[in-house]
Structure 1
Amino acid sequence: MGRHIELLILILLLKSTKEQVLFDDLDDSQQTSKESAMHFIRNELQQIRQSVMKILLQKLEDIKDELNRKISTEIENVTKTIVENFTETLENKLTCFSHSTLISGFDCSDILKRCPNTKKKDGVYNISNGSNKIKAVYCDMTTDNGGWTVSSVQPQELRVDMERFNGEKAYAVYSTFSVGNEASKYILQVNEYVGTAGDSLSYSNNSKFSTPDQDNDAWSSGNCATRYRSAGWFSTCFLANPNGQYTDSEEIANLGYVSWYHWKNSWISLKLIQLMSRPRA
């Protein structure tokens, strides 16, 4: 724009000089009348005016094109952001209504909170520890308002449900429950019992996890896991044996079966036992 203005000024100066020459010629030669000279000057000025207007209009067109380009780009960016946000929200909502194995969370309680439609839909879900490591766990989304994880190594509250072969049921809840890491031999911390089954698990509090090939119990005469063909948190050895051998009918006085001693103050083999955990409220 600056160069156009400079050109305009130069043209005006040239025209001004030309006009002065014309007047000088009129005085000297007296061949052209003042009216003719003025008419010629007006025509020249009109041409200059048209040239300037053309330059200005072209510049306005350039400005308009630039503004339109910037507006279009801004509209495109805003539209893209809106579409991306909407798509992400829609994907999250659709995920909550998809097959359960596609739904992920930090634990079963987190999944239930984010996707309320999973309530009363027990099954396998994905949980993540926050570092993109995902594992499948079974979630109980029905019992006691749901959100229970059947396997977990983080501080939780624990619920144990059990059933006899005659259909009788009982439960035990521990408001303090945690399992240590591998270095601690998965030591058990369990306290604050309430329920109808009796407190058989506190006997194993502060016990390490033992298996037939990993004797971590407190029994000096042998390996509880080997003797009872089981695995679990054994002291010397246990009052609760949720990982014991399964039998298809009720048996008594065999510690190797699935059992919970304090329910009937007896080693009755159980038809069902299930341990579930969720974050403390």
Structure 2
Amino acid sequence: MAELRNSNRRLQALQRQNKDVEDALERFNDQLARLNDGGANSKTPGDLEGGQNERFEMIERKLNSISRILYNSISHMRNNNDELKSLKNDVAAIGNNTWKILSQYQNILDKEISNTGLMELKNRFNRHALVDHCLNSTVDRPKNCLDLHRKGKPSGVYKIYPSNHKDGFMVLCEMSDGGGWTVIQNRYDGSQNFFLGWNEYKHGFGNLGGEFWLGLDNIYHLTGQEVNELFIELLDNTSTRKFARYSAFSIGSEVEGYPLKLLGGYSGDAEDSLIYHAGSRFSTKDKDQDEWDEGSCPRSHGGGWWYKACDTSNLNGRYLVGEVPDSFQYQGMYWAGFRGPQYSLKQSRMMVRPKDNDIS
């Protein structure tokens, strides 16, 4: 930016110098005209003889003055041409450097964007660490199911107190598969309707003893302050079981639209059918935040989900079970990598757990 400002100042100086040259040339033309007029007015030999010497001296002085003006003008023009050439080279060099800097910045920005979710989690965790310590200093209250697992608690329903949530809420803890998992979604018989609105998906619905959705607000409190893993279990109508596991998972706040903000390293045998939705905001039938301009994903495909335009998975879709006709494609509870969008799965369970290197 400093180089551009310097070049701009130099260009303005050149413009002023060119104006001076134009003024000098104009004065030169005026004086030539006056000399011509003077010669034309000396009509008789007597007039020439009477003031010949004086007129010659005047003409010589004017010619000398004109020569100096012309010399200075030519010098300025040469200098200006050199300056303009130099300025063009400088501008070209600045343009090349600016392009290189912008390219480097874009590469850095791409890397930063991929790490934004993780950085925000770290900052939030640091901000709430002291608050969390104060809330749990007098009573030993579990923050999550992992705390309960470390105390030897079995699978079951418990009340937990995540960071920045002093009132706490009830959850279903699963202590198998390494233990410490908090179940955020559970479906297995179709008894609970999942084609509901924003308010229900925000606060949660169903029964922790049966089918349920824990609630976006609760999921945010679980995953918004520290890095969590995500574990998804799937079962088809032939009792074939598949799973998908992600090393990092986090959603944003309601103000942000509860986006799927962080989704890290996939492993499992169900194939990765969630990565397409990374970064997408949550949508319901009465709050459409998807990227499909021609329609509404939650209305067309049924159920609330992190729709993009529209989906490669929808575990909150309609409970249809088994193969579905073309007219119901993408509308069932499906996972593209396991049976595809023309098959509605029998069971689905989503669980989160704080990232901990001491457990597997």
TM-score (norm 2): 0.46
**Cross-structure match for 1:268:** 343
How far has the Cα of 1:132 moved from its partner? 2.3
* Larger CA deviation: 221-230 vs 156-165: 221-230
Secondary structure of residue in 2 paired with 1:145: coil
Pick from 282, 285, 289 the counterpart of residue 209 of structure 1: 282
Secondary structure of residue in 1 paired with 2:148: helix
Pick from 191, 199, 202 the counterpart of residue 272 of structure 2: 199
Pick from 213, 217, 221 the counterpart of residue 294 of structure 2: 221
**Cross-structure match for 1:140:** 174
8 Å CA contact retained: 2:302, 2:316: no
**Residues 1-281 of structure 1: pairs in structure 2 closer than 5 A:** 104-113=141-150, 115-116=151-152, 118=153, 121-130=154-163, 131-142=165-176, 144-151=177-184, 152-153=219-220, 154=223, 155-188=227-260, 189-247=262-320, 249-252=321-324, 253=326, 254-281=329-356
Which residue identity lines up with residue 139 of structure 1 in the other structure?
C
Which residue identity lines up with residue 227 of structure 1 in the other structure?
S
Q: Deviations over 1:66-115 (max 9, x none)?
A: xxxxxxxxxxxxxxxxxxxxxxxxx97xxxxxxxxxxx5101111111x2
Provide the aligned C-alpha RMSD in A.
1.7
In structure 1, how many angstroms separate the alpha carbons of the residues matched to 2:342 and 2:146? 33
In structure 1, how many angstroms separate the alpha carbons of the residues matched to 2:237 and 2:276? 25
8 Å CA contact retained: 2:281, 2:307: yes
In structure 2, how many angstroms separate the alpha carbons of the residues matched to 1:175 and 1:267? 28
Q: Deviations over 1:135-162 (max 9, x none)?
A: 00111111x1111112332131101000
**Cross-structure match for 1:41:** none
In structure 2, how many angstroms separate the alpha carbons of the residues matched to 1:208 and 1:136? 25
Structure 2 gaps of 5+ residues are 1-138, 185-218
Secondary structure of residue in 1 paired with 2:287: coil
**Cross-structure match for 1:50:** none
How far has the Cα of 1:190 moved from its partner? 1.3
In structure 1, how many angstroms separate the alpha carbons of the residues matched to 2:278 and 2:290? 12
How far has the Cα of 1:200 moved from its partner? 0.2
In structure 2, how many angstroms separate the alpha carbons of the residues matched to 1:194 and 1:264? 18
8 Å CA contact retained: 2:143, 2:160: yes
* Larger CA deviation: 155-164 vs 250-259: 250-259
Secondary structure of residue in 2 paired with 1:226: helix
Which residue identity lines up with residue 181 of structure 2 in the other structure?
W
How far has the Cα of 1:133 moved from its partner? 1.5
In structure 2, how many angstroms separate the alpha carbons of the residues matched to 1:236 and 1:123? 37
Secondary structure of residue in 2 paired with 1:225: helix
Structure 1 segments (4+ residues) deviating >4 Å: none
TM-score (norm 1): 0.59
**Cross-structure match for 1:18:** none
* Larger CA deviation: 251-260 vs 185-194: 251-260
In structure 1, how many angstroms separate the alpha carbons of the residues matched to 2:147 and 2:346? 30
8 Å CA contact retained: 1:260, 1:267: no
Bigger CA radius of gyration: 1
In structure 1, how many angstroms separate the alpha carbons of the residues matched to 2:144 and 2:168? 11
Which residue identity lines up with residue 257 of structure 2 in the other structure?
K
How far has the Cα of 1:267 moved from its partner? 2.9
Q: Percent identity?
A: 33
